[in-house]
Amino acid sequence: MARKSLNRREFLKRAGIVTGGAMAMMALDPLSSFANNNDEKSQGNNNMTYRTQNGTGERVSLLGFGMMRLPRDNQELVNQLVDYAIEHGVNYFDTAPMYGKGLNEEIVGNALSRHPREKYYIATKMSNYNEQYWDLEEAKKMYENSFKNLRVDHIDYYLMHGVGQGGMDAFEKRFINNGLLDFLVKEREAGRIRHLGFSYHGDVRVFDWLIDHNDTYHWDFVQIQMNFLDWRHASLEKGGWKTDADAEYLYNKLAKAGIQVVVMEPFRGGALSKMPEDCVAQLKAMRPNDTVARWAFRWVSSHPNILTTLSGMNVMEHLVENVATHSPLEPCTPAENDLLEKIADQMAGIPTVPCTACAYCMPCPYGVDIPGNFSFYNNALNNNQLPHKGDSDYASKQAQFVKDYFKAMPAEARANQCMDCEECLKKCPQSIRIPNQLSRINDILRGR
């Protein structure tokens, strides 16, 4: 089988990113050369860090303002929050027709329209969850109403809202069968939508279909949930829905496709504030003055393919702290990434790979013994032989793991032969994100 023209490993190598690491997505420098080329500092009076939008070269603030949690009955407070954000360099504002019981767009439009249009980028969504809006004409009314509420003649970032919820059947009814996606593509061609993307929750088959059809739709950005816990533990139940894929898989597939990421829930809806006290103590031991929120935002925003990281800020205290975190961004160091990986595993419990050794994924085009690798990893985990970064016996356990692994696994069958061709993904009845799970083994072999 011929190799793809640009697989994930090749992409990451060219970008200067270390492959295989869960938290070590950056090279030994805190940010890779790719990120350093992309990060920009403000030329004005603020120190906000900016990322460059691939399609237009627009400078987008690395901190984005998620407007969902704004009060519905206090326009003055919303105005104050927006004024502070713009004054300190924030220029990406995210809303949706369904937020605030249908009032959020209007409140956001009232606040933003007081500023010059070139000072902000507005993101809103096609929130057609209700069957009423599966009718194309009804969906168009929702779309046109967004322009009216936001007081704009173009929308900078427009999203299909929450694709994946309800699976492929719901997605097709909402966007394909009625011609709505085709309509939105034409609106982008006309310039009323400047960048078209989608936000993803739930069934990963919908996400995969959309990215696999990128040559047709040319996504400008995609919004995903991403934080240091969901990076490899997103299968945990949360918020009334369950995702089929960890954020690592989503982020890497988007990077491979050259599509920039907008992050939602970097603080997991506030859930990370409830982490165990011993985990908080470990963070405080390394950075005594930093809040858990600052850790979470620094980790997410350090990733080079992030365009902006949304934060739902409805009090000035949170806005001020998050602006300071990104003004400028101090990216996580390798040691900090290791600590957050350890804490994530501690919070979630390090899971075994749910491989049944059915071998439907075999043969691998590159010779990887997929079931054999997962069997070795699971056995090491179950027998307390898996090395964990930060433990006093890490070095000895890591050396023994490498020795045993090399003895058990021929060179041509090892995890590092994976080229992320994705042939195995469509064959696995357990829906295991196989390349990402193999990267767990690569991390240990590299001592990361």
Residue 422: pLDDT above 50?
Answer: yes
Q: Is the pLDDT of residue 240 over 80?
A: no
HSE (side-chain half, CA atoms, 13 Å) at 422: 13
Which residues, in sequence order, are CB contacts of 256 under 8 Å at separation 6+? 6, 7, 8, 11, 420
Percent of the chain with pLDDT over 70: 88
User: Which H, E and C letters describe the chain, residue by residue?
Assistant: CCCCCCCHHHHHHHHCCCCCCCCCCCCCCCCCHHHHHHCEECCCCCCCEEEECCCCCCEEECEEEECCCCCCCCHHHHHHHHHHHHHCCCCEEECCCCHHHHCHHHHHHHHHCCCCHHHCEEEEEECCCCHHHHCHHHHHHHHHHHHHHHCCCCEEEEEEEEECCCHHHHHHHHHHCCCHHHHHHHHHHHCCEEEEEEEECCCHHHHHHHHHCHHHHCCCEEEEECCCCHHHHCCCCECCECCCCCHHHHHHHHHHHCCEEEEECCCHHHHHHHCCHHHHHHHHHHCCCCCHHHHHHHHHHCCCCEEEEEEECCCHHHHHHHHHHECCECCCCHHHHHHHHHHHHHHHCCCCCCCCCCCCCCCCCCCCCHHHHHHHHHHHHHCCCCCCCCCCCHHHHHHHHHHHHHHHCCHHHCHHHCCCCCCCCCCCCCCCCHHHHHHHHHHHHHCC
Tokens 């593509």 map to which residue? 185
The two three-digit tokens of residue 160, written as one number: 């299909």
Closest by CA to 157, choosing from 308, 47, 32, is 308
pLDDT in tens, 26-42: 322 323 333 434 677 65
| Res 281: pLDDT | 94
Would the pLDDT of 45 be above 70?
no
State how far the Cα of 164 lies from the Cα of 90, in Å rounded to an integer: 29
Residue 442 has pLDDT above 60, yes or no: yes
233, two tokens: 């533990």
Question: Phi first, then psi: what are they for 394, rounded to 5°?
Answer: -60, -50
How confident is the model at residue 12, as a pLDDT?
41
Whether the pTM exceeds 0.75: the reply is yes
Burial (CB count <10 Å: 0-12, 13-18, 19+), residue 47: middle
Per the model's pLDDT, the better-predicted residue between 25 and 439 turns out to be 439
CB 65 within 8 A of CB 92: yes
- 346 and 338 Cβ atoms separated by less than 8 Å: no
Length of the chain: 448
Q: Which two tokens stand for residue 11?
A: 């992409």
- Return the pLDDT at 84: 97
pLDDT at position 10 is 45
pLDDT at 68 over 60: yes
* Whole-number Å distance between alpha carbons of 405 and 95: 50
Tell me the two tokens of residue 81: 């929050």
Q: What confidence category does residue 226 fall into, taking pLDDT thresholds of 50, 70 and 90?
A: very high
Please report the pLDDT score of residue 348 as a whole number: 81
For residue range 344-397, list pLDDT tens digits in order. Answer: 988 887 777 878 788 889 999 999 999 999 999 988 887 888 888 778 898 999
238, pLDDT greater than 70: no
**What is the band of 13 on the pLDDT scale with cuts at 50, 70, 90?**
very low
pLDDT (average), residues 175-200: 98
List beta partners, residue 158. Answer: 124, 196
What is the pLDDT averaged over residues 405-412? 95
Tell whether the model's pLDDT for residue 245 goes beyond 80: yes
pLDDT in tens, 137-182: 999 999 999 999 999 999 999 999 999 988 999 999 999 999 999 9
Integer Cα distance of 200 and 437 in angstroms? 21
State yes or no: pLDDT of 436 exceeds 90. no
pLDDT at residue 32 in the model = 38
Domains delineated in the chain: 8-339 (3.20.20.100), 352-446 (no CATH)
